[in-house]
Amino acid sequence: MFDEKDVLLEAKHVTRRFPAQGGRELIACNDINLKLYKGKTLGLVGESGCGKSTFMRFLVWLDRPTEGEVIYQGKDITKLKGRELHEMRQHIQMVFQDPSTSFNPKMKIRDIVCEPLLNYGRIRHSQKDQKARELLEMVELPGDFADRFPHNMSGGQRQRVAIARALALEPEIIIMDEATSALDVSVQETIIELVTKLQKEKNITIGFICHNLGFIQSFSHQIAVMYLGNIVEVMPGENMAKICCHPYSKALLDAVFDTKMDFSKKIDPIKGEPPSPLNVPPGCPFQDRCDKCAAICREKRPHLQELSPGHEVACHLFSKEGSV
């Protein structure tokens, strides 16, 4: 499915532990192994609080894992400091969920999109006007929007500005954290069309965080499903609805409302609530919400096993040991 020579970034056994009261610990990410491929989109999906954003923050140096490594350009980027870290940051940029909180409300749009270029000495102050127009037109906004402030723009327009700022340094990788969840459904579609077009033009690698499996399958080349800090399934984005097999992946898909208004599609909410991340039971983390739970599921934690090229699942139903 994917050529290993195209691996651009690889997370190896990444774990993040947070200390909690009573000597306990919260494991936000548990032994995560994922690869981002050149020019492809990895969609990371799961319910709120499952650890998606925590993992992606490692890739942009907003946090460091307790264990494991993230390899980019032959280096473990979690260990970088000082000048080397500053130089590496320009290759991996991020688009946040709410651009209004990541913009300085007192800065005009020209200053917002050109700030990264000035920080790295890519342009002079006298070149800001022209460069700002180029970046805004790249994301299909009028060039004269450079004179506006963020509060004078709609949510979709601000998100386009955020994308322009992220692309200003021509990075190889962009991390998008729920970048469309605060937008209307119609606006979400236009933003994804823009991102897909720019990805093809610039051969950008994208890590996209989302909680809607039905939405993310429309543009992701690879999808990783996360539950309580664990990756439970990794699969190709193409034909995802037909090949996904982990009970949690299927439950996420069944819980999606059909935006095409197909009322024949039954919506089945996922039953129950996930356990506290401070009290994850032994065995499979999804055991108490799974109608196929067996004795081994309560005793032994399943690990990812390959079902077919590019498709791995962590579930005893598909164990090679045939225990279920």
- CA atoms of 18 and 58, how far apart (whole Å): 14
Report pLDDT digits (tens) over 241-267: 889 999 999 988 887 655 554 555 566
Domain layout of the chain by residue ranges: 4-91+171-318, 100-170
For tokens 């039954």, the residue is 266
Q: Three-state secondary structure along the chain?
A: CCCHHHEEEEEEEEEEEEECHHHCEEEEEEEEEEEEECCCEEEEECCCCCCHHHHHHHHCCCCCCCEEEEEECCEEHHHCCHHHHHHHHCCEEEECCCHHHHCCCCCCHHHHHHHHHHHCCCCCHHHHHHHHHHHHHHCCCCHHHHHCCHHHCCHHHHHHHHHHHHHCCCCCEEEEECCCCCCCHHHHHHHHHHHHHHHHHHCCEEEEEECCHHHHCCCCCEEEEEECCEEEEEEECCCHHHHCCCHHHHHHHHCCCCCCCCCCCCCCCCCCCCCCCCCCCCCCCCHHHCCCCCHHHHCCCCCCEEEECCEEECCHHHCCCCCC
Nearest-angstrom CA–CA distance, 318 and 34: 20
In this structure, are residues 181 and 211 in contact, taking their beta carbons and an 8 Å threshold? yes
Gap between the Cα atoms of 318 and 85, Å rounded: 42
Radius of gyration of the chain (CA): 21
Please list the pLDDT of the chain residue by residue as tens digits (324 residues): 688 889 999 999 999 999 998 888 999 999 999 999 999 999 999 988 899 999 999 999 899 999 999 999 899 999 999 999 999 999 999 998 887 788 999 999 999 999 999 999 999 999 999 999 999 999 999 999 999 999 999 989 999 999 999 999 999 999 998 888 767 877 888 999 999 999 999 999 999 998 878 788 889 999 999 999 999 999 999 888 889 999 999 988 887 655 554 555 566 667 777 888 888 888 999 998 998 899 999 999 999 999 999 999 999 998 765 445
Q: For residue 178, what are its two tokens?
A: 């729920």
C-alpha distances in Å from residue 67, one per residue of 10, 170, 227: 14, 30, 19
Measure the CA angle with vertex 77, ends 75 and 65; round to 5°: 130
Is the CATH number 3.30.565.10 carried by domain 4-91+171-318? no
CA dist., res. 154 & res. 109, Å (int): 13
Render pLDDT for 26-84 as a digit per residue (tens, 0 to 9). 999 999 999 999 999 999 999 888 999 999 999 998 999 999 999 998 999 999 999 99
Distance of CA 316 to the CA centre of its chain: 26
Q: Which two tokens stand for residue 265?
A: 């599609």
CA torsion 202-205-209-214 (nearest 10°) is 80
